[in-house]
């Protein structure tokens, strides 16, 4: 199976390089020898059903968990040994909502700016610009509690971009959102890849979020079962479409296919 | 190892030129963490009220009831006989720090997988600095609670010399940090202390009652030499005495030494225990992730 990008694991120019990563929760193996790398300015979809290991992988990439087996590098910086340098280059949108509902949009974003050493004046300018980018202009003073689920996600995306990362990780960012909100957020992220050159790792179990030109990494029960461009994954799995390929690779029974769509 | 050049594009999001973090950046981060905690506290009035109710019940009801039962002789720092409510006020300040510190440190451990701690922990600043900042933020809020309590106590007739209200500040700060670090250390290492009920039963109540917060040590010694020894081994004892003496413009050096030493020790141990590869976090991972 070919890699997502032409270069292999250990490539210093990769936006993200995951090499031989395994992780266990006690005796339960959550990830087993996972290797892939993604190039800068590409949109890569991390596909997997619930329990496939996506969130565990995100926790390792974001250094919430220590990588005990294998290595993870972000633009050449080892997440375990140089976590600060690595984390400065990555923006993260977690699966669970992480906005403080009691605070305003501006207060939430300012807090994040301070966590990256960005002063108040500069943060104010960046927040205004980013709220435009995520289509929430002038909403600085809205209470987070007053926002819809989709709007909260947009604010979380703005927050993840506040420190100008070159790699964006989004873990099931559209879960629980209506079709319109999902499409809007996906379009915003894809535009960022095009216009800003940001590399994106988009974790999802929703197959309709994959487009033909995307790169995909497919996880099943902690094992990497496919990686490459959509067309390559379809071909190597002997399927007729990416939906079919994902079904085969995930060994989904007929009754479970509905889960691939929202 | 240096990163490759970042792509420079239109809006400049990717035009990354990272300067090395200096003192200024650390201070920005610390200020942000403290400010957020204060803002959260201001937005949660019920939290503020409930934090005041507990010590006020002790002051208004318990102290009034026990005034005739428990006599307090003249012991330093007091120069005259004092009413029982005057005696227990420093202990109640300690109680506020104890509850608040344990609560916030527990949430730092228990909520590690939750949103707020996640956003904190993925910051590029060193983890020890983030944890200390979070503790400082929690202690700042606790100190505000103590001063609010002292204002109410002042109207109740518990008054200290003006210098005492100033001198008690560093004593509260040091004691708060010690208790917060102790809470984080214990809840990181002991599985039974992963919830507040466990913290209450195994740390707060024993720690509070086995101290001079409610009765002088000499009384405890008269009642039970063993309990007296336990009190002497209890770090909270020294926190209470440090606060009591500072409240009257004095420094109790032994207490200062013990509290400062314990703060450094507990802080270092708590940071090590909080490391993802050790302690509770490793065990918490045993429960599995969701993705």
Mean per-residue pLDDT for B182-211?
Answer: 77
Residue A73 pLDDT: 95
Tokens of A4: 């997502």
- CA atoms of A217 and A44, how far apart (whole Å): 7
Residue A230 pLDDT: 92
- CA atoms of B182 and B190, how far apart (whole Å): 12
Q: Does pLDDT of B73 surpass 60?
A: yes
Residue B188 pLDDT: 74
Closest CA to B121 of B29, B22, B16, B185: B29
Listed in sequence order, the residues at least 6 apart from B118 whose beta carbon sits closer than 8 Å to its beta carbon are: A64, A94, A96, A98, B112
Instruction: Write the CA distances from B129 to A56, B59, B235, B280, integer angstroms.
Output: 25, 37, 24, 19
A168: left (phi > 0), else alpha (psi -120 to 50), else beta?
beta
Higher pLDDT, B175 or B69: B175
Rg (CA), chain B: 22
Tokens of A86: 């690595």
Residue B277 pLDDT: 45
Domain of A91, CATH number, reads 3.40.50.300
Residue A8 pLDDT: 47
Closest partner residue to B285 among A25, A48, A172, by Cβ?
Answer: A25
Higher pLDDT, A27 or B90: B90
- Percent of chain B whose predicted confidence (pLDDT) is above 90: 42
Chain center to CA of B109? 14
- DSSP state string for chain B: --PPPPP--TTSTT---PPPP-HHHHHHHHHHHHHHHHHHHHH-HHHHHHHHHHHHHIIIIIHHHHTTT------TT-SS---HHHHHHHHHHHHHHHHHHHHHHHHHHHGGGSHHHHHHHTSSS-HHHHHHHHHHHHHHHHHHHHHHHHHHHHHTT----HHHHHHHHHHHHHHHHHHHHHHHHHHHH-GGGSSHHHHIIIIIHHHHHSSTTSS-HHHHHHH-HHHHHHHHH-HHHHHHHHHHHHHTT---HHHHHHHHHHHHHHHHHHHHHHSTTSHHHHHHHTT----
Residue A12 pLDDT: 56
User: Cβ distance B176 to B240 under 8 Å?
Assistant: no
Instruction: Work out the pLDDT band at B275, boundaries 50, 70, 90.
Output: low
Higher pLDDT, B198 or A173: A173
Chain center to CA of B207? 13
**Residue matched to tokens 């450094």:** B264
Closest CA to B248 of B176, B165, B175, B145: B165
Chain B CB contacts of A112 under 8 Å are 119
User: Cβ distance A156 to A130 under 8 Å?
Assistant: no
Residue A9 pLDDT: 47
CB neighbours of residue B202 within 10 Å: 14
Report yes or no: A143 at the B interface, CB cutoff 8 Å: no
Q: Does some domain include residue A243?
A: yes
Q: Does some domain include residue A6?
A: no
3-state secondary structure of A67: coil
Q: Domain limits at A219?
A: 16-99+170-260
Could you state, in chain order, the average pLDDT of each consecutive group of 10 residues for chain A (262 residues)?
A: 43 84 88 93 92 90 89 93 90 89 93 95 94 90 92 93 94 87 90 91 92 92 92 89 88 48 48
Instruction: Work out the pLDDT band at B72, boundaries 50, 70, 90.
Output: low
ipTM: 0.86
Mean per-residue pLDDT for B215-228?
Answer: 87
Number of inter-chain CB pairs under 8 A, A vs B: 172
Subunit contact A115:B4, Cβ cutoff 8 A: no
Chain A CB contacts of B285 under 8 Å are 25-26, 65
Subunit contact B43:A84, Cβ cutoff 8 A: no
Residue B198 pLDDT: 73
Instruction: Work out the pLDDT band at B283, boundaries 50, 70, 90.
Output: very low
Closest partner residue to B14 among A63, A102, A166, by Cβ?
Answer: A166
Residue A151 pLDDT: 92
Instruction: Write the CA distances from A196 to A38, A74, B6, integer angstroms.
Output: 16, 18, 10
Q: How much is the mean pLDDT over chain B?
A: 82
**What total number of domains does chain A contain?**
1
Chain A CB contacts of B21 under 8 Å are 84, 117
How crowded is the C-beta side of B84, counted as CA atoms within 13 Å? 16
Q: Give the least confident one: A82-96, B4-18, B47-61, B71-85.
A: B4-18
Report yes or no: A202 at the B interface, CB cutoff 8 Å: no
Chain B CB contacts of A77 under 8 Å are 1, 3
Domain boundaries, chain B: 23-278
User: Cβ distance A251 to A259 under 8 Å?
Assistant: no
- CA atoms of A8 and A32, how far apart (whole Å): 18
State phi, psi for A107 to the nearest 5 degrees. Answer: -65, -40
Q: Does pLDDT of B178 surpass 90?
A: yes
Residue B222 pLDDT: 85
State phi, psi for A210 to the nearest 5 degrees. Answer: -90, 135
Q: Does pLDDT of B259 surpass 80?
A: yes
């Amino acid at each position: 199976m070919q890699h997502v990008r032409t270069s292999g694991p250990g490539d210093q120019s990769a936006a993200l390089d995951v090499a031989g990563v395994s992780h266990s929760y006690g005796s339960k193996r959550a990830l087993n020898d996972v290797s892939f790398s993604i190039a800068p300015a590409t949109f890569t979809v991390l596909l997997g059903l619930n329990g496939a290991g996506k969130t565990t992988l995100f926790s390792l990439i974001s250094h919430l968990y220590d990588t005990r087996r294998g290595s993870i590098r972000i633009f050449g910086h080892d997440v375990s040994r140089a976590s600060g340098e690595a984390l400065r280059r990555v923006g993260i949108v977690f699966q669970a909502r992480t906005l403080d509902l009691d605070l305003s949009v501006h207060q939430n974003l300012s807090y994040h700016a301070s966590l990256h050493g960005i002063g108040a004046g500069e943060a104010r300018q960046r927040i205004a610009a980013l709220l435009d980018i995520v289509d929430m202009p002038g909403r600085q003073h809205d209470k987070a509690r007053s926002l819809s689920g989709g709007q909260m996600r947009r604010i979380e995306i703005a927050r993840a971009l506040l420190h100008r990362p070159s790699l964006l990780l989004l873990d099931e960012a559209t879960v629980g959102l209506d079709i319109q909100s999902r499409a809007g957020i996906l379009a915003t992220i894809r535009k960022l890849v095009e216009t800003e050159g940001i590399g994106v790792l988009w974790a999802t179990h929703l197959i309709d979020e994959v487009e033909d030109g995307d790169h995909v990494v497919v996880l099943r029960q902690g094992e990497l079962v496919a990686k490459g461009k959509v067309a390559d994954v379809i071909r190597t799995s002997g399927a007729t479409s990416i939906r079919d390929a994902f079904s085969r690779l995930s060994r989904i029974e007929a009754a479970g296919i509905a889960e691939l769509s929202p | 190892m240096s990163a490759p050049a970042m792509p420079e594009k239109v809006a400049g999001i990717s035009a990354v030129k990272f300067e090395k973090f200096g003192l200024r950046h650390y201070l920005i981060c610390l200020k942000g963490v403290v400010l957020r905690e204060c803002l959260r506290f201001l937005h949660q009035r019920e939290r503020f009220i409930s934090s005041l109710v507990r010590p006020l019940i002790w002051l208004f009801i318990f102290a009034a009831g026990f005034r005739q039962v428990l006599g307090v002789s003249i012991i330093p720092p007091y120069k005259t006989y004092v009413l029982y409510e005057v005696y227990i006020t420093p202990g109640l300040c300690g109680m506020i720090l104890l509850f608040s510190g344990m609560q916030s440190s527990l949430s730092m451990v228990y909520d590690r997988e939750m949103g707020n701690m996640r956003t904190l922990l993925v910051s590029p600043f060193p983890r020890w600095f983030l944890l200390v900042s979070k503790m400082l933020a929690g202690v700042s809020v606790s100190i505000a609670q103590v001063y609010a309590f002292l204002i109410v106590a002042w109207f109740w007739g518990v008054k200290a010399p003006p210098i005492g209200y100033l001198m008690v500040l560093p004593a509260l700060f040091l004691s708060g940090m010690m208790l917060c670090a102790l809470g984080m250390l214990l809840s990181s290492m002991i599985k039974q202390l992963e919830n507040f009920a466990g913290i209450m039963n195994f740390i707060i109540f024993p720690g509070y009652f086995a101290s001079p917060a409610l009765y002088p040590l000499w009384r405890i010694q008269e009642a039970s030499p063993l309990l007296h020894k336990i009190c002497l081994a209890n770090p909270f004892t020294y926190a209470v005495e440090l606060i009591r003496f500072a409240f009257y413009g004095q420094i109790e050096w032994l207490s200062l030494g013990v509290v400062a030493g314990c703060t450094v020790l507990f802080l270092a141990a708590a940071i090590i225990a909080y490391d993802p590869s050790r302690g509770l976090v490793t065990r918490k991972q045993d429960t599995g992730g969701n993705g």
